Amino acid sequence: MNAPPKRLYRSRTDRKIAGVCGGLGAYLGIDPVILRILWVALVLGAGFGLLAYVIFWLIVPEEPLAA
């Protein structure tokens, strides 16, 4: 009846660098490629994207292993 709350994790399977965009895509229900394009635009545009990516990499836990 009550589904467990959604948790944000870095993806173990859909990753290019650290799984941040793959995990955000799964959490938000959108294609991670869209997030990767937005992240690259932030990195090249204002430089804020790189700092944000590193912060997410350090703070968001990695997806737990399947039992």
Whether 15 shows a pLDDT value over 90: the answer reads no
Lookup: tokens for 28? 């938000």
pLDDT band with cut points at 50, 70 and 90 for residue 31: very high
Q: What is the pLDDT of residues 33-67, one digit of tens each?
A: 999 998 888 888 877 888 888 999 999 999 888 75
How far is 25 from 15, CA to CA, in rounded Å?
Answer: 11
